[in-house]
Structure 1
């Protein structure tokens, strides 16, 4: 990610970015100090509208390149879109310049308009930090990147508040990037042990954040039947990761965040179709978001006690794979009748939720998972599905998402479907009939011990096949920022 500088004075020699609003005042910034050498004639010639995400360049006499980025109506989310479009346009030009043997600039500066506050700066930083994200394994030399964005404030009194906003946004962006990196790593590299070690490496940078990794022997001794069943078909055994953030002066409840960590999902014996199976390397994005959220919580020093739980397994096909018709005993003693081995996420989450209730004595539970295709069909690829057993916890998740640019839609926990979760030969049925996203949530609810609980289904927005706003194709990092904002709501 580029370094973000917030300063009172501009730096000589850096290319300048001018912001333009949509509407009648789109040309106004071009006549001010930053864009005085452009003006309305140039704007009309290039068709400038000022809409968010619009980026133009102009060569100026003696001053190099000017960049003009549209911020639409100026709402904070439009600044995020503008920042993402700006960094992509900048790096595209830098790549062209490098290929042509021209000098490549690696920095930009932008003088903030008077109306720019903490919200606008935070969104701009998120866009710039995430919009140019790439994951590429290649023998070719990497393309040039934006190294520095210098934001120049108009008043010295704005300096510290805007530096704080930019620093916080950078921490959120780093968490999102970490989730994307874990999600995009191919599964020939990313097995349960690799992802557990990655959690250890990320946490080692932050004093006060502790990580424990438990192997298959410990899982068997402790009774994690769901994790062992799902991971039993793979030659690469499962793991269980706990991340603990327990500040000395913690406020509010003890929050347990639980993330599905299936490092690859063939579907098991209930095998998936070949089309799209390669995308199952991102089936651990819920677990990655929990790991990255705990790292971000620690980086920000939030005064809230939080534990992250990530059950890790690879759902594979072999003679030792679990079968439809099996009965599995979970950590808390409850049993599940297996009907579809491709519904493996709820099996590992059930163990971890039971552990949070019985072992950790948590006060609030949140689980996040790429759980059901039904939720992707219901809400598409830009909105996460939210189930909650209290209005308060639902409102906290939705509000957290609004603050960080992630949308959630609350789904019902339909009481008339609750009896369908019961099994004739075990406590619960893994895959009851009916609407798949809802029945999956009803199944998970059986393992929450009646605690305040939210289930976040990110099957749709966890990955993308196109560019929009700050999102690029591949793992998106969706839910990481929401989890951090949710924790912050208790501070």
Structure 2
């Protein structure tokens, strides 16, 4: 059934593709609606201009030199003595921001960019956005100030003087940091606080404008993925997630959305999705997004994202500590949804079919059990050993469906799949498994271009027998290296197609700000997927 059918609740659409999630989806008990921010979150608008604007606070980069920060150029641009910047303890450390008081109540900023690498510019952009918000929160009369720093509302806009030698990669990184660095998601009755609204990049090199526009789409994908991951699970059930995605897709030309309900899933043999979702009062869904441009080149890509809107672990119950973070267990699905919107808006000439199997993994009398045997789409059976390994159960159905029904040529799946990957690589790097060296390099390079870190992991054939089932075709949670055996399990459902599995369990969430990342859902992988598809289009 399509998104316009009876199995998909509808949201009012306003101002293009902005949707107010609060307007229809509230508490499940039918009481007063929850209050959510407008989704997608508004981001900083970044423009390229040739000349500085009078009255707009200016930020000037400070580079690191052999003997310390190079302050002379910044001082000259502000027409102040170097001694003033020294007294402010201005440094070249990436992201270090200092407010510079200027005559007539004006102010500016100096921001460290280190040696000027793209990741340092991205950090600098994020720091400037946060400095602008802090500035907007001031009264203008801080205790201890000896200089009037002007009207804080001026900080709703800023301009950055771009060095003549800056290339598009650097400018793109700066724009990405400015757009994402002060992202916020709060469920509150309070009015939205003031924020940086527009950033002007001052440069005579107008060729960087295309890179800035591309970075804007990367930022939009990342922010939407954050919004979806951060939404609380008393609102975000499978119907909400898939329904909202369908509404966001509706106004995008050429992008079609279909939401499948539990009846359709049962009729078509999606045993993994139904098993995982069987313990919840909120039934599972399958979202299908299709982008089929007339000028498509290259392979037909199947994108699959894990959409577990909350994960208790089921009967194999998780510890209470940290369980609240399981609202973000659909971060892979969020990345796929957000990437598809950007892929279509950019009109990338690659055919892409995206699938997001969505369910809640709960504990009840109807929950699936260790020892159960589940039949997936296509007929293959799985012996369940741990109900907390639910992600691979729903992904198995979707992978088989993409390969068999949609006849994809290439598969990429994204999931917060294993705690083992967090142990292996920490919280800022995703692991990935690829069946072909070329795919491995494309994933790594796409991540590097957009500022997301990936590390290739081996599909160790020594452990392939571990996923063979005793009572079924395959075993869900065998002993051995957890991330590797999970990947080997998923491979069983790819029909031998070229395939990449992204395990984003670590970087999908953050507990503190760093660079352009903020605490909460990070939106990791959304922009990497966009860039990966753009790379497919270029080859």
What TM-score, normalized to structure 2?
0.88
Equivalent residues in 2 for 1:390-405, closer than 5 Å: 390-405=436-451
Give the equivalent residue in structure 2 for 1:65.
Answer: 107
Q: 1:30 — aligned with what?
A: 74
Match of 2:97 among 50, 55, 59: 55
> Following the alignment from structure 2 to structure 1, what is the Cα–Cα distance between the partners of residues 503 and 336?
13
Q: How does 1:361-372 map to 2 (within 5 A)?
A: 361-372=407-418
- State the secondary structure of the residue aligned to 1:197: helix
Give 1:203 shift.
1.0
Q: 1:98, 1:144 within 8 Å by CA — same for their partners in 2?
A: no
- Segment of structure 1 superposing worse, 201-210 or 424-433: 201-210
1:475 is displaced (CA, Å) by: 0.2
2:425 match: 379
Cα deviations across residues 367-398 of structure 1 (Å, max 9, x unaligned)?
A: 01000001001100000011111111111111
Counterpart of 1:74 (choices 110, 113, 116) is 116
Separation in 1 of the partners of 2:274 and 2:350? 32
SS in 2 for 1:289: helix
- Residue 180 of structure 2 is aligned with which of 119, 125, 130? 130
Match of 1:92 in 2: 134
Deviation of 1:111 (Å): 2.1
1:3: which partner in 2? 45
Q: Residue 114 of structure 1: which of 149, 164, 168 is its match?
A: 164
Aligned residue runs from structure 1 range 202-281, under 5 A: 202-281=248-327
The DSSP-based 3-state class of the residue aligned with 1:394 is helix
Q: What does the per-residue CA deviation read over 1:402-461, in whole Å, with 9 as the maximum and x for residues that have no partner?
A: 111111111111111101111111000000110110000000000011111010001100
Shift of residue 285, structure 1, vs aligned partner? 0.3
CA distance in structure 2 between the partners assigned to 1:77 and 1:369 by the alignment: 25
Cα pair 1:346 1:444 within 8 Å, conserved? yes
Cα distance between partner residues in 2 of 1:97 and 1:212: 50
State how far apart, in whole Å, the 1-side matches of 2:251 and 2:163 are.
Answer: 36
Give distance in 1, aligned partners of 2:236 and 2:371: 30
User: CA separation in 1, counterparts of 2:140 and 2:406?
Assistant: 54
Q: Does structure 2 retain, via aligned residues, the 8 Å contact 1:386–1:455?
A: yes
Cα shift readout 1:46-80 (whole Å, capped 9, x = no counterpart): 22221211100011113601111111101111110
| Counterpart for residue 10 of structure 2 | none
2:478 corresponds to 1:435: no
CA contact (8 A) 1:20 1:28 kept: no
CA distance in 1, matches of 2:272, 2:246: 24
Q: 1:104 aligns with which of 134, 150, 153?
A: 153
| 2:272 alignment partner, SS class | helix
Q: Is the 8 A contact 1:22 1:72 kept in 2?
A: yes
Which position in structure 2 is the counterpart of 1:294?
340
Residues 329-368 of structure 1: per-residue CA shift (max 9 Å, x gap): 0001100000010000000000000001100110000001
Shift of 1:99: 9.7
Which structure 2 residues correspond to residues 307-346 of structure 1 after superposition, within 5 A?
307-346=353-392
Query: Is 2:138–2:152's contact at 8 Å kept on the other side of the alignment?
Result: no
| 1:156-176 deviations in Å (ceiling 9; x for gaps) | xx22x2221111101110000
CA–CA separation in structure 1 for the residues paired with 2:407 and 2:298: 14
Q: Under a length normalisation based on structure 1, what TM-score does the superposition of the two structures give?
A: 0.97
Q: Does 1:192 align with 2:238?
A: yes
- Three-state SS of the structure 2 residue aligned to 1:273 is coil
Q: Deviation digits for residues 2-54 of structure 1, max 9, x if unmatched?
A: 1112111222111111111112562132243x3223x3101221222212111
CA distance in 2, matches of 1:381, 1:205: 35
Residue of structure 2 equivalent to 1:166: 212
Partner of 1:141: 191
Shift of 1:98: 7.8
After the TM superposition, which of the residue ranges 164-173 and 4-13 deviates more from structure 2? 4-13
Q: Distance in 1 between matches of 2:534 and 2:295?
A: 14
Please give the per-residue CA displacement for 1:163-220, whole angstroms capped at 9, x wherever unaligned. 2111110111000000000000000000000001111122123100111100000000
Q: Partners of 1:476 and 1:10 in 2: how far apart?
A: 33
Q: Deviations over 1:215-248 (max 9, x none)?
A: 0000001100000000000000000001111110
Structure 1: runs of 5 or more not aligned: none
Cα distance in 2 between the residues matched to 1:62 and 1:70: 25
Aligned to 2:201: 151
